[in-house]
Amino acid sequence: MPQQSFGLGIIVPSSNTVLERDYTGLGLDGVSFHFSRVLNSEDTIEQLTAMRESSREGCAAA
């Protein structure tokens, strides 16, 4: 029986330079990580909060 595999999509701010390396370094069998970066002009709590709210709205509309 073939091993089941999973893909995990991760959206990260463009300023985050370590998350992709950290996740791919986990080496989990049967799990693939797919990253997309969202451009952000500054790394502030206000901008990150707005990005979180925007992603929630997008998920609710899908």
Look at residue 5 and give its three-state secondary structure.
Answer: coil
Report CA dihedral (37, 57, 51, 41) to the nearest 10 degrees.
Answer: 70
* Residue numbers of the domain that contains 49: 6-61
Mean predicted lDDT score pLDDT of the chain: 85
Counting the structural domains of the chain, the total is 1
Residue 1 in any domain: the answer is: no
Q: Is the dihedral of CA 55, 25, 6, 36 positive or negative?
A: positive
Name residue 12's amino acid.
V
User: Is 52 within a domain?
Assistant: yes
Average pLDDT over residues 25-48: 87
Work out the pLDDT band at 33, boundaries 50, 70, 90: very high
State the alpha helices, DSSP H only, in 1-62.
Answer: 19-24, 45-61
Would you place residue 27 in the very low, low, confident or very high pLDDT band (cuts 50, 70, 90)?
confident
- Residue 62 has a pLDDT of 65
When pLDDT is cut at 50, 70 and 90, the band that residue 7 belongs to is very high
